[in-house]
Amino acid sequence: MTDEQIAQLVIESESVSATAAVEVRCAGAWTVQGIARLERRLEVLSWPGEGDLAIDGSAISALDTAGAWLLHRTMRALEQRGRNVRMNGLRPEFSALLQLVASRPVTPESTAPARAGLLTNIGQQTWRGLIGMSGMLSFIGESTLILLRSLVQPRRIRWRPILHNMQTAGFEALPIVGLLSFLMGFVIAYQGADQLQRFGANIFIVDLVGLSMLRELSPLLTAIIVAGRSGSAFAAQIGTMKVTEEIDALRTIGVGPTEMLVLPKMLALIIALPLLTVWADVAGVLGGMLMARSQLDVSFDVFIDRLGDAVSLSSFLTGIGKAPVFAAIIALVGCYQGFQVSGSADSVGRQTTVSVVQSIFLVILADALFSVVFNWLKI
Amino acid sequence: MNAVIDIRDLYTRFGNNVVHDNVSLTVQPGEIFALVGGSGSGKSTLLRAIIMLLRPVSGSIRVFDREVIGLSDEQALPLRRRWGVMFERGALFSSLTVTENVSMVLREHTKLSARLIDEVAALKIALTGLPADAGSKYPSELSGGMRKRAALARAIALDPELLFLDEPTAGLDPLSASGIDELVRSLRDALGLTIMMVTHDLDLLWRSADRVAVLGEGHILGVGTMTELSNSDHPIIREYFYGPRGRAAREQAWKRK
């Protein structure tokens, strides 16, 4: 930047006597882009003499509010030290601006509030957790009530959004669920092949792949994919609607947001997730079959022949039976977190993250509980 | 002096819907220029084309003697620092407080110290007539009128030479709206700004605008001062200014004179 484009301040007469006025000359562009260097200089500048100051502003070529503020601040600081400051030669439009700036009371906000102590933090976190849990419980209760009411009066069920959600959360997830499940079956067979071959128990690859996929892995895998794909979408959609006051609008029209937004999503997932799980079963077994043929010389028809004996109907059904529960968890957590959004775009992001983490956590927890219960019941 | 904004033969189209057909207009330095027209007449679209958020099909838009159509973001930066934009719904960053919204612009584009930035931000907030405690609030905690003022404070953060206002008074009560009228004028007088605004507010037009362009049917139907336009013969302009509300605003303006 040339000298013309930056703000300058020159102390002309460094008079030693305390009585004579100190002359100060301001020049250049006192603008937001030009005052940066001058500001740093002013911080450390020591003003000579004790007496009055005369500032000559005739050489200021440009002045904006930031520059005017710096000038005003400097003058005010000098006045507070008991020195008289006079301003000369400023262009009329610049002095009008200086006056405008001087007329506004400016109190920059104080710094952030003091940080809370450890105990306070623990207390607040715990309290927040409890509030969140009770909120979640009452949300589950409310949704269940509305679900029951809809089941009693099936005419109230909104089929169109249910079908739409089945399309987006179910049908459109087919490729990714299929691919991942296929790879999962493939990998399990590959890992098992080595061990089984050592004992000459090649045919048991069918039991390994069939049982682990159908009973455990494909319901879990499908639920986790859907939680990441659709649970987050539910939270983000409802959260954004909350920010734009669409939820409030629904209430004023007399449509319950739970009935309109939560129920269709929950019903759609409860229908779609078991179907997706069957699809994942098929893809996983297919992956295992391919690997079994190439590594263990178990041909397709032998594999399928054995599959009927290895996997009982109850094993298949326990796998499918878990899916609706997972679906309810994903939909409820996603929607609940969406309703927890407050005001800002940041909050939408935060609640979406929380919804995915929570629903995956709860899905795995529920899966563990199922294992324990099935063990008791000897299914 | 050259015109601040110079638009020639602008043609904009969304699909088959022609928004601007051969639109030309100029904005002179230091003037308050208003764009009016019915809903869907392409006022906001024109504004978005000027501030490079939307690319027209053909034509030329020169701002500060620089062609803006086809500029890359990097080339546009020096221009963007010279203008400020206030969006219709504020478009304040919802995760930042009002002060942070204003100071963020300063932090991004200047080398000032944190203390001076905070002070300048507080000054801008005060200039727009917001109370001092509004600075520490989040946009969601503000009323509609305060949000508009905060958006204006962010738009003037860098002391722009050119200010774009999209519906500055829409959704405000009459008292806040007339506050904005005065604010617009006083900012122009104090800071020497050129202001281009899109508005429906006839009171604001009578009180603040130096020149007004009426957009309709994809064309500029008329440009001139409010008095000139109100004597126009064009049926759409007449309808616009001589509807019941137009007449009331006009009488108000006469009384004040």
Cβ separation A105–B126 shorter than 8 A: yes
**CATH code matching the domain that covers A3-103, chosen among 3.30.750.24, 3.30.160.40, 3.40.50.300, 3.40.50.150:** 3.30.750.24
- Lowest pLDDT segment from A171-175, A199-203, B144-148: B144-148
Q: Which residue of A has its CA nearest to B156?
A: A65
How distant is the Cα of B257 from the closest Cα of chain A, in angstroms? 25
- Lowest pLDDT segment from A185-189, B125-129, B237-241: B237-241
Cβ separation A107–B190 shorter than 8 A: no
State the count of interchain CB pairs (< 8 A) between A and B.
89
The whole-number pLDDT of residue A188 equals: 93
Section B173-184 average pLDDT: 76
How distant is the Cα of A19 from the closest Cα of chain B, in angstroms? 32
Of B256 and B224, the structure prediction assigns the larger pLDDT to B224
- A4 has a pLDDT exceeding 80: no
Chain A residues with CB under 8 Å of B109 CB are 33
Q: Which residue of A has its CA nearest to B190?
A: A97
Positive or negative, the CA dihedral A93, A96, A102, A104 is negative
DSSP assignment of B114-157: HHHHHHHHHHHHHHTT--GGGGGS-GGGS-HHHHHHHHHHHHTT
The whole-number pLDDT of residue A168 equals: 93
Cβ separation A69–B158 shorter than 8 A: no
The whole-number pLDDT of residue A278 equals: 95
Section B16-20 average pLDDT: 82
- B65 has a pLDDT exceeding 70: yes
Q: Which residue of A has its CA nearest to B159?
A: A64
- A17 has a pLDDT exceeding 70: no
**A residues 70-99 lying closer than 8 A (beta carbon) to B:** 70, 73, 93, 96-97
Section A298-309 average pLDDT: 90
The whole-number pLDDT of residue A367 equals: 95
Return the bridge partners of A54, or none. A23, A86
- Chain B contact probe: residue of A76, A99, A106, A110 with most B CBs at under 10 A: A106
* Cβ–Cβ contact A169 with B under 8 A: no
How distant is the Cα of B96 from the closest Cα of chain A, in angstroms? 9
Longest dimension (CA), chain A: 112
| pLDDT single digits (tens) A176-205 | 999 999 999 999 999 988 888 888 888 899
The whole-number pLDDT of residue A364 equals: 96
The rounded distance, in Å, linking the Cα atoms of A224 and A169 is: 13
Mean pLDDT of chain A: 87
- A332 has a pLDDT exceeding 60: yes
Query: Residue A237 — very low, low, confident or very high, per pLDDT cuts 50/70/90?
Result: very high
Section B100-129 average pLDDT: 84
The whole-number pLDDT of residue A368 equals: 95
Q: Among A32, A101, A104, whose Cβ lies nearest the Cβ of B110? A: A32
Q: Among B94, B106, B123, whose Cβ lies nearest the Cβ of A104? A: B123
Of A127 and A84, the structure prediction assigns the larger pLDDT to A127
Q: Among B126, B135, B138, whose Cβ lies nearest the Cβ of A104? A: B126
The pairing of beta strand B211-216 with beta strand B5-14: unpaired
Tell me how far apart the terminal alpha carbons of chain A are, to the nearest angstrom: 81
How distant is the Cα of B205 from the closest Cα of chain A, in angstroms? 25
Residue B105: CA atoms inside 13 Å, Cβ hemisphere, count? 28
Cβ separation B123–A73 shorter than 8 A: no
The whole-number pLDDT of residue A210 equals: 92
Token pair in block for residue A243: 């920010």
Residue partners of A19: CB distance under 8 A and separation at least 6: A51
- A377 has a pLDDT exceeding 60: yes
- B227 has a pLDDT exceeding 60: yes
Q: Residue B180 in contact with residue A86, Cβ under 8 Å?
A: no
The rounded distance, in Å, linking the Cα atoms of B223 and A358 is: 60
Of A20 and A26, the structure prediction assigns the larger pLDDT to A26
Mean pLDDT of chain B: 82
Token pair in block for residue A372: 């324990």
The whole-number pLDDT of residue A276 equals: 96
Burial profile B15-27: b = 16 or more Cβ within 10 angstroms, e = fewer: eeeebbeebebbb
The phi and psi torsions of B56 (rounded to 5 degrees) equal: -70, 165
The whole-number pLDDT of residue A16 equals: 53
Query: Residue A355 — very low, low, confident or very high, per pLDDT cuts 50/70/90?
Result: very high
CA distances from B7 to A7, A157, B10, B40 (A): 35, 55, 7, 20
Section B187-213 average pLDDT: 82
**What is the 8-class DSSP label of residue A255?**
-
Q: How far is CA B121 from the centre of its chain?
A: 21
Q: Which of B116, B189, B183 is nearest to B155 (CA)?
A: B183
Q: How far is CA B40 from the centre of its chain?
A: 17
Section B3-14 average pLDDT: 85
* Cβ–Cβ contact A343 with B under 8 A: yes
The rounded distance, in Å, linking the Cα atoms of A255 and A245 is: 14
- A75 has a pLDDT exceeding 70: yes
* Cβ–Cβ contact B228 with A under 8 A: no
Token pair in block for residue A156: 């109230």
- A139 has a pLDDT exceeding 80: yes
Residue type, B118: D
Q: Which of A40, A228, A362 is nearest to B116 (CA)?
A: A40
- Chain B contact probe: residue of A109, A242, A341, A344 with most B CBs at under 10 A: A109
The whole-number pLDDT of residue B32 equals: 87
Torsion-angle region of residue A30: left (phi > 0), alpha (psi -120 to 50) or beta? beta
The whole-number pLDDT of residue B1 equals: 60
Q: Which residue of B has its CA nearest to A105?
A: B126
- Domain coordinates in residue numbering, chain A: 3-103, 146-377
The whole-number pLDDT of residue B188 equals: 81
How distant is the Cα of B65 from the closest Cα of chain A, in angstroms? 20
- What is the number of other CB atoms lying within 10 angstroms of the CB of residue A338? 29
- What is the number of other CB atoms lying within 10 angstroms of the CB of residue B110? 22
- A111 has a pLDDT exceeding 60: no
Tell me how far apart the terminal alpha carbons of chain B are, to the nearest angstrom: 30
* Lookup result for tokens 């200014």: B241
Q: Residue B213 in contact with residue B223, Cβ under 8 Å?
A: yes
The whole-number pLDDT of residue A15 equals: 54
How distant is the Cα of A252 from the closest Cα of chain B, in angstroms? 20
The whole-number pLDDT of residue B206 equals: 81
Has this prediction a pTM greater than 0.80?
no
* Cβ–Cβ contact A344 with B under 8 A: yes
